[in-house]
Chain A
Amino acid sequence: MNAIAMDIRRNRLLLSYLIVAMLLLVMLVVGGVLSDRFLTWRNISNLLQQLIVLGMVSLGQTFVVLMGGIDLAIGSLVGALTVFLANFLEWRPDLVWLALPLALLAATCVGAINGLLTILLRVHPLIVTLGMSSIIFGGTLMYRKEPGGSVPRGFADVAYTSVGGVPISAIVLVVIFALAGLWLQRTRSGRSIYFVGGDREAARLNGLPVNRIVVLAYALSGLCAGVAAIFLTARTGVGDPRIGVALTLQSVTPVVVGGTILAGGRGGVLGTFLGVLLVTMLNNLLNFLSVSSYYQWIIQGLIIVVAVGFHTSRRRH
């Protein structure tokens, strides 16, 4: 890849960042004009509090998509983990220190298994993760059909505590995204994710441990789902096997809105972060304008089409 091509690619990515950022500004202004409660600190901090779950699953999806795959098991995994956490903590509220690492470990393992299966069976990641999602969902439902369990008080605080008015969860999210961005841009292993996503064969010929990178990307996606599940359980206080059903597809929207190409190798976490902000703020704004969630679905679908149509049509010329 020569320097000029690199430059153009980067500029296009910057352009999509700029557009999303401008849309965010427009929404802030529109929201401020249409509702006097939208721009209050109370609403903003409420909005920031909601970021973490969508943010984490989208971050996980970004790793996998950049590497050239897709992870459709995220939602089922998050649902299964909330069930595990809530039931485990109801049984032994004192063992929070054990439950959280266990959940993260299990999530990472499931992700790694996804990656391993795509490599070992040479089956398309869409099929592998779809199948895995069905297996996890069925397994969770066999264990618990209805929402249940509970969490100790201190654990629930994780989701609601603020420092200087800024929710801790938002701070955690920003730190994780910053670390992820630094890792992807500045380290060898991070950049190899782009390399594998851009051209897997070339990466292999260049001596990169392609298989290990694939497994790593899926494992990271699982880990992110684990973090999302922890905050989700803390916030809702119950384990709901179905809570993640919509989350899988929701995790894809910010990724593609942020300019990451589904074919892999192009994009980044900054775009995903902006995408998460955009989706969350849009839903918040529509709630303020009392637009029913039904129309929010339509709008979400349109956003995907417009964003992807925009990016791909640019790529063509």
Chain B
Amino acid sequence: MAPLDTATQRPRHKSLATVMERYGLLIFLAVLMAVAAAASPTFLRPANLVNVLTIAAPLGMVVIGQTFVILVRGLDLSVASLMATVAVLATAFRATTNDAIPLIFVAAIMFSAIVGFVNGYIVAKRNVSPFLATLAMMIILQGLRFAYTGGAPISTLPPGMAFLASGRIFGIPVNLLTLAVLAISLGIVLHRSRLGREVFMVGSNPKAAFLNGVAPDRVVIICYVLCSVCAGIGGLFLLGYVGTVSNWVGQGYELDSIVAAVMGGVALTGGRGNIFAALLGVAVLVVINNLVLLLGFPIEMQLIIKGIIIIGAAAFYRTQVN
């Protein structure tokens, strides 16, 4: 794709700009929640908020991974297809007891890691654009999945899988707990560890990173593997939520995860972004979706609003750079 124009510097109050960039999304979220609360008194009830967050948990997991990939100037369009494929894989064991759940998790993570490795390898070593590499992976996974299921939905699942969606540990929903663990551990990796620093170096300037003794290819591949593994785990949790494996579980998550990351200020040009801001993007996205329903608009309106937001958010952060 064309190199992006560097935004011309405009005279502005630096302080206001910084405040807006740092807290703009938070302010936006607060406004949205105020509107939602005004529109419907049930919105701010803890039960509804937990419910909204629960729905958002699988998307959050995907966004964490997507952030890693976008940080190294990549993009993963195969996440949604992978989620559905992992869901199909989970049924492949024909397991009816809960003993199989650890096995399902191990198999799903290994499969996802392989997919991520192939994505990363093709992007890093063969120099294929991430858009095309992951697009091809998306179609290939789709084909594999359908070839296996013949297009029919399956529901042979261990009963314990539903626990992933509705279960609670110490009163906290399991999926939110898992999301928190993933976010914090990968957040530490990204923002506090050596690997994280290398991710930012490779994302902002691969050549300089290379000259500083970082192997860009290795970092890129690791990012794609992390992304796929996050998506795979997200797929299992989404499966627990949906219950039945349709072949299109997770459809739309590739777009949503990119929208959320971009809203959270993760720059598509690489090298700039924060996992927790990206997760804030998820929160905004779900609240908007919820709001559309609360206000009684047709559900298709979500698509229109999402489209406007992704363009608007990208434009907003563009003007904040430099």
Contacts and interface: CB of A to CB of B under 8 A. Distances in A.
Interface string A218-255: 00000000000000000000000000000001001000
Contacts of A136: 307
Interface of B: 1-5, 7, 75, 122, 126-129, 131-133, 135-140, 142-144, 146-147, 151, 255, 258, 262, 268-269, 298, 300-311, 314-315, 318
B143 to A, nearest CB: 3
B126 A312 contact: yes
A309 B127 CA distance: 7
Given A295-B147, A298-B147, A300-B139, A125 B2 contact: yes
Given A134-B255, A301-B143, A308 B129 contact: yes
Interface stretch (A48-56, A116-124, A158-166): A116-124
A262 B132 contact: yes
B307 A138 contact: yes
Contacts of B138: 301
A70 interface: yes
A298 B144 contact: yes
A123 B3 contact: no
B140 A135 contact: no
Given A128-B311, A302-B140, A135 B1 contact: no
A131 interface: yes
A16 B4 CA distance: 28
Given A134-B303, A308-B132, A309-B126, A127 B268 contact: yes
Interface in A159-205: 197, 200
Nearest to B146: A294
A132 interface: yes
A117 B140 contact: no
Q: Main SS of chain A's interface residues?
A: helix
Contacts, number: 160
Contacts of B139: 249, 297-298, 300-301, 304
A252 B135 contact: yes
Contacts of B151: 294
Contacts of A6: none
Contacts of A145: 300
Contact of B128 (A134, A293, A295, A309): A309
B146 A69 contact: no
A5 interface: no
B315 A132 contact: no
Contact of B318 (A121, A125, A133, A137): A121
Given A69-B1, A124-B1, A200-B2, A316 B127 contact: yes
B129 A262 contact: yes
A296 interface: yes
B208 to A, nearest CB: 20
Nearest to B145: A294
Interface in A80-132: 117, 121-128, 130-132
Q: Which of B75, B122, B129, B305 has the most CB of A within 10 A?
A: B129
Contacts of B310: 127, 130-131, 134
Contact of A304 (B135, B258, B268): B135
Contacts of B268: 124, 126-127
Interface in A285-317: 292-302, 304-305, 308-309, 312-313, 315-316
Q: Which of B3, B137, B305 has the most CB of A within 10 A?
A: B3
A130 to B, nearest CB: 7
B310 to A, nearest CB: 4
Contacts of B142: 294, 297
B128 A138 contact: no
A139 B143 contact: no
Contacts of B314: 121, 123-124, 127-128
Contacts of A122: 4-5, 7, 315, 318
A252 B318 contact: no
A75 interface: no
B129 A138 contact: no
- Nearest first, the 5 closest Cβ-Cβ pairs linking A and B are A138-B303, A68-B2, A297-B143, A134-B307, A298-B143
A70 to B, nearest CB: 6
B108 to A, nearest CB: 20
A34 interface: no
A301 B315 contact: no
A33 interface: no
Contacts of B135: 249, 252, 301, 304
A263 interface: yes
Nearest to A292: B147
A142 interface: yes
